[in-house]
Every structure is written in structure tokens, then in C-alpha cells.
């Protein structure tokens, strides 16, 4: 419940918090947000993810890309979905939430997928997923 409250507070002003709850224990969530002046950072960040969709799926990672009053949801299984947001993000940020909903990483600079994958691969649930896959 702690994760949901944190995520609700973080995203409620954006108008799509109701979509986040469905991810608990199913997906890790990456929220990339920015104001219009930082759109180039979002584009650069998303460019990193274009070539690693298989690794995103393997790690059960879904993305919300939010710029101004519009968010786009990517699960890399279906076409991206656009969601309206009520408020605009003030600055660029990237936030990773684990399967348990806890905030695992936050940055105000663009990061490579390897940084996120390394962090995720050290998480206990992810290590268990890897062991089960190997057996």
C-alpha cells in the first residue's frame, strides 16, 4: 500500500494514477517526465530504449513517457497508449518503481539502459526470476 500512496501522490496530478495500480507485482514501472523545455532529454532517454525492447520485456519493465499534459504508456507488447495528464511536470526526471511499488531509483539526468538493468538485476525478486529462468 505504501508504494501505491507514493505513486498516487507522484502521479495523481497527472491524471493517470488509476493506471498505475494494475502494475503491482506484475511490472516494474519507469516514469520519464519533463516540461516542454526538457523535451530533448525525454527524446534522448527514449532513444536509448528503442533498441532494448527485449531486455525491457525480460525485466517486466513498462514505461510512462510524460511531456507537458500528455503521457504515453509503453509495454512493448502492444501499440503505445496516450493518456491525458492534468498537470505539467516542472523538470526532467526519471523514476523507477520496483514490482513491490517502492521507489528504487530517481535521476534528473538521462541514464543508459545498462544503469537501470544493472540496478534491476541486483534486486532480490529479479535475481529469483533469473534463477528460475536458468532452471
Domain range summary for the chain, segments of one domain joined by +? 2-134
Closest CA to 20 of 76, 90, 86, 73: 73
For the chain, first and last CA: distance in Å? 32
What is the pLDDT at residue 17?
Answer: 53
What is the pLDDT at residue 67?
Answer: 93
Per-residue pLDDT for 45 more than 70? Answer: yes
Query: What gap in Å lies between CA 33 and CA 135, rounded to an integer?
Result: 38
Closest CA to 27 of 109, 128, 97, 103: 97
For β-strands 61-67 and 103-107, DSSP reports them as unpaired
What's the pLDDT tens digit per position in 77-126?
Answer: 999 999 887 777 889 999 999 998 889 999 999 999 999 999 999 999 99
Helix (H, G, I), strand (E, B) or coil at 122: coil
The reported pTM is 0.84
Contact of 64 with 32, CB cutoff 8 Å: yes
What is the pLDDT at residue 9?
Answer: 40
Class of domain 2-134 (CATH, top level): alpha beta
Handedness of CA 99, 101, 104, 107 (dihedral sign): positive
* Residue 18 confidence class, pLDDT cut points 50, 70, 90: low
Alpha helices in 1-135 (DSSP H): 2-12, 17-20, 39-50, 53-58, 113-121, 124-134
What's the pLDDT tens digit per position in 51-83?
Answer: 999 999 999 999 999 998 899 999 999 999 998
Of residues 86 and 5, the one with the higher pLDDT is 86
Helix (H, G, I), strand (E, B) or coil at 101: coil
Amino acid at each position: 500500500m505504501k508504494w501505491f500512496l507514493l505513486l498516487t501522490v507522484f502521479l495523481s496530478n497527472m491524471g493517470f494514477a488509476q493506471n498505475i495500480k494494475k502494475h503491482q507485482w506484475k511490472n516494474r514501472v519507469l516514469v520519464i517526465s519533463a516540461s516542454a523545455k526538457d523535451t530533448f532529454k525525454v527524446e534522448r532517454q527514449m532513444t536509448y530504449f528503442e533498441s532494448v525492447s527485449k531486455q525491457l520485456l525480460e525485466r517486466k519493465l513498462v514505461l510512462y513517457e510524460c511531456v507537458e499534459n500528455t503521457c504515453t504508456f509503453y509495454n512493448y507488447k502492444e501499440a503505445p497508449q496516450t493518456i491525458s495528464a492534468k498537470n505539467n511536470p516542472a523538470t526532467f526526471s526519471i523514476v523507477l518503481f520496483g514490482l513491490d511499488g517502492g521507489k528504487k531509483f530517481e535521476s534528473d539526468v538521462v541514464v543508459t539502459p545498462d544503469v537501470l538493468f544493472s540496478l534491476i538485476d541486483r534486486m532480490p525478486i529479479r535475481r529469483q526470476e533469473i534463477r528460475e529462468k536458468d532452471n
